């Protein structure tokens, strides 16, 4: 599908807003100073004299080196947060008021570990718990996107990762492992030309890991303002996918609704009450062997219309649209999945939504054009009247 000029401009602007790496040693590839190159152990217990560059820690924390029993997206170095384990780093916000979004990876501490341990991520005024689900990808690890918050130039932000478990019988090999941190900042999104939804192509979201083929999971987030996908709230669990590893109908990114019935995305827009609008979007599959009949409900205000797509799991898409009348000024727009599907490998998957465009319908456009024409006629009449007045003044002067 041909990419619209406004989408290209928006993407370029967003690329310019991506922050330089604000975190020191974000992938933990710089090891502790006394790490022995010939060590046979895959785990090194940190101590006050043996720390990871860029990070401070509390409790029981281990540095993870290359391990055949553990799959990691990076180069084999990570951090395991054991009992009461906590690591932290303070970064300095580097722009006028901007939003910060984090990409990170959770992995199990060994092959036979259940998902009994969680990771708590906290920054000033915000705390969130993430669990290793191991059901939305082929790898044992999973990458997540998380909205951290909004800060201004020069503000210090303390980023903390901490282990959490409800188990009374602690198994030291099953504590969570974190790896591959990416931090991205966004300023105010520019208005998209001829589209009332500024992030309708989902280009403004978390950074993708360069060596990951799994996409980024986004857990439920009811706030469109505090969401890793700018201006879209998340219902259930969705996957943020890139065009390098998945089929994306347009641009560099799209949304795959993976957690089944009633999962999806939602936003809201201020419209002219009583006027008609046209909502266009693309429905497809991610080319990830997700086979089945997708059913997606597109909700505009209080009205929902269902759309279907028969997926062979090889990458397909079709453009769809719905025309509606705005009953209130604040109008919710949402896309919800009504199906639950798994691949042959048991991985949950689902429909892809992309390229969402909201425009005024022809009637409203005509009304707006008439208003512009009337304004122009009035302006011309005023200028002509002034011109006639000047001519009369000149006659009397003569």
* CATH code of the domain covering residue 155: 2.60.120.260
Do 69 and 179 share a structural domain? yes
pLDDT digits (tens, 9 = 90+) for 144-188: 999 999 999 999 999 999 998 765 555 556 789 999 999 999 888
Do 381 and 351 share a structural domain? no
Are 58 and 86 in contact, with CB atoms under 8 Å apart?
yes
Residue 257 included in any domain = yes
Q: Does position 102 have pLDDT exceeding 60, yes or no?
A: yes
CA–CA distances in Å: residue 41 to residues 13, 67, 99, 124, 290: 46, 9, 40, 36, 40
Q: Does position 231 have pLDDT exceeding 90, yes or no?
A: yes
Could you give the percent of the chain with pLDDT greater than 90? 62
Residue 7 included in any domain = no
Do 261 and 176 share a structural domain? no
- The closest of 166, 175, 15, 30 to 89, measured between CA atoms, is 30
**Rounded to two decimals, what is the model's pTM?**
0.85
In DSSP notation, 371-392 reads HHHHHHHHHHHHHHHHHHHHHH
Could you give the percent of the chain with pLDDT greater than 70? 79
Q: What is the pLDDT of residue 373?
A: 44
In DSSP notation, 195-259 reads -S-TTTT--SSPPPPTT-SS-EEE--B--STT-SSTT-EEES-EEEEETTTS--SSSSEEEEE-S
Residue with the bigger pLDDT between 151 and 365: it is 151
pLDDT digits (tens, 9 = 90+) for 177-220: 999 999 999 888 877 778 999 899 999 999 999 878 899 999 99
Beta bridge partners of 121: 128, 161
Do 353 and 309 share a structural domain? yes
Do 265 and 137 share a structural domain? no
How far is the C-alpha of 136 from the C-alpha of 239, rounded, in Å? 8
Do 268 and 147 share a structural domain? no
Are 86 and 61 in contact, with CB atoms under 8 Å apart?
yes
Are 291 and 313 in contact, with CB atoms under 8 Å apart?
yes
Average pLDDT over residues 340-358: 96
Do 165 and 110 share a structural domain? yes
3-state secondary structure of 10: helix
The token duo for 70 is: 């553990």
Q: Does position 333 have pLDDT exceeding 90, yes or no?
A: yes
Residue 35 included in any domain = yes
Handedness of CA 94, 163, 69, 289 (dihedral sign): negative
Residue 217 included in any domain = no
How far is the C-alpha of 141 from the C-alpha of 147, rounded, in Å? 20
Please count the structural domains in the chain: 3
Residue with the bigger pLDDT between 100 and 133: it is 100
Confidence class for position 36, pLDDT limits 50, 70, 90 = low
3-state secondary structure of 338: coil
Range of the domain at 307: 189-207+243-360
CA–CA distances in Å: residue 179 to residues 102, 162, 213, 335: 12, 13, 15, 32
The token duo for 52 is: 């990871």
Residue 236 included in any domain = no
Do 390 and 315 share a structural domain? no
How far is the C-alpha of 355 from the C-alpha of 249, rounded, in Å? 8
From the centroid of its chain, how far is CA 94? 21
Q: Does position 386 have pLDDT exceeding 80, yes or no?
A: no
> Any residues with CB less than 8 A from the CB of 299 and at least 6 apart, and which?
266, 332, 333, 334, 335, 336
Maximum Cα–Cα distance across the chain:
106
Residue 137 included in any domain = yes
Looking at every residue in the chain, the average pLDDT score rounds to 84
Do 384 and 295 share a structural domain? no
Q: Quickly list H helices, the chain.
A: 5-17, 362-397
Do 376 and 323 share a structural domain? no
Handedness of CA 193, 196, 201, 207 (dihedral sign): positive
Residue 9 included in any domain = no
Poorest-confidence range of 27-41, 238-252, 308-322?
A: 27-41
How far is the C-alpha of 218 from the C-alpha of 237, rounded, in Å? 6
* Pairing, β 142-151 against β 126-131: unpaired
């Amino acid at each position: 599908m041909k990419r619209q000029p406004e989408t290209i401009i928006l993407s370029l602007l967003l690329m310019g807003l991506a922050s330089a790496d604000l975190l020191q040693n974000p992938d933990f590839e710089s090891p502790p100073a006394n790490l022995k190159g010939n060590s046979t152990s895959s785990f090194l217990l940190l101590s006050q004299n043996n720390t990871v560059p860029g990070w401070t820690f509390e409790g029981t924390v281990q540095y993870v080196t290359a391990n055949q029993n553990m799959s990691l997206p990076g180069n084999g170095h990570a951090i395991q947060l054991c009992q009461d384990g906590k690591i932290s780093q303070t970064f300095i916000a580097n722009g006028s008021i901007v939003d910060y979004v984090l990409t990170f990876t959770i992995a199990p501490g060994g092959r036979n570990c259940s998902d009994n341990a969680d990771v708590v991520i906290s920054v000033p005024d915000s705390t969130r718990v993430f669990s290793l689900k191991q059901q939305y990808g082929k790898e044992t690890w999973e990458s997540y996107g998380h909205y951290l918050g909004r800060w201004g130039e020069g503000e210090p932000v303390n980023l903390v990762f901490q282990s959490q478990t409800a188990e009374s019988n602690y198994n030291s090999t099953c504590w969570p492992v974190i790896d591959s941190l990416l931090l991205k900042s966004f300023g105010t999104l520019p208005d998209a030309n001829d589209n009332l939804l500024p992030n309708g192509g989902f280009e403004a979201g978390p950074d993708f890991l360069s060596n990951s083929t799994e996409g980024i999971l986004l857990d439920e987030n009811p706030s469109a303002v505090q969401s890793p996908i700018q201006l879209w709230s998340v219902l259930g669990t969705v996957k943020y996918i890139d065009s390098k590893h998945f089929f994306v109908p347009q641009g560099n990114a799209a949304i795959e609704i993976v957690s089944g019935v009633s999962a999806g995305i939602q936003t809201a827009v201020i419209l002219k009450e009583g006027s008609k609008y046209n909502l266009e979007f693309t429905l497809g599959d991610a080319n990830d062997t997700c086979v089945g009949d997708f059913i997606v409900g597109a909700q505009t205000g209080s009205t929902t219309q269902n759309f279907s797509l028969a997926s062979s799991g090889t990458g397909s898409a079709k453009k769809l649209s719905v025309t509606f009348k705005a009953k209130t000024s604040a109008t919710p727009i949402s896309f919800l999945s009504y199906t639950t599907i798994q691949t042959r490998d048991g991985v949950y998957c689902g429909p892809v939504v992309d390229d969402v465009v909201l425009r005024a319908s022809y009637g409203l456009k005509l009304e707006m054009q008439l208003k512009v024409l009337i304004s122009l006629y009035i302006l011309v009449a005023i200028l002509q009247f002034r011109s006639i007045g000047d001519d009369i003044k000149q006659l009397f002067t003569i």
